[in-house]
Amino acid sequence: MTPTGLMLIVVSVTLSALGQTAFKAGVDRISFAEGAGVVTKSLGFLTSPWILAGLAAYGVGTLFWLFALRQLDLSLAYPFVALSFVVVFLIGILFLGEPVVATRVIGLLIIIVGLVVMARA
C-alpha cells in the first residue's frame, strides 16, 4: 500500500468516525414529547446542527474514500474501514467519557495486527 493510499483511507475513516461522534452528540441533545411520531422525530434529527455536521463529515469522508479507491484494490482498501473501530474507541474515551475496557483494547489490538498484515500484502 502506498503512503498516499493509506493517508486517504485514514482521513476517510477519521471523518466517518467524527461523523458518528457528531450523530451521537446530536441524538443525545434532542428530546421529544411523549408520543411524538416518526415524522416529528425525523425532522428533529434532520434539523440538528450536530447531525448535519455528521452528515457533512460523512460526505467529505466519502470523497476521500473515492480517491483511495482510485489507487487501491477494493479487497485491500475495504478492510481498513476497521480502523474506524480504533478511532471511535479513542473518541469515545477522550470526548464522551466512555470507559476503557480491557477486552475492547485486546480486540482493537487484534484488529490493528490484522491491518498491518493486510497492508504488507
Q: Percentage of the chain surpassing pLDDT 70?
A: 100
Please give the single-letter amino acid code of residue 17: A
- Closest to 12 measured CA to CA, from 52, 71, 95: 71
Give dist(CA 15, CA 56) in Å, integer. Answer: 9
Instruction: Spell out the domain ranges in the chain.
Output: 3-119
The whole-model pTM stands at 0.79
Is the pLDDT higher at 1 or at 53? 53
User: What is the residue type of 91?
Assistant: I
Angle CA 118–10–68, to nearest 5? 75
CA 111 from centroid of its chain's CA atoms: 15
Mean pLDDT of 27-36: 87
The SS3 call for residue 49 is: helix
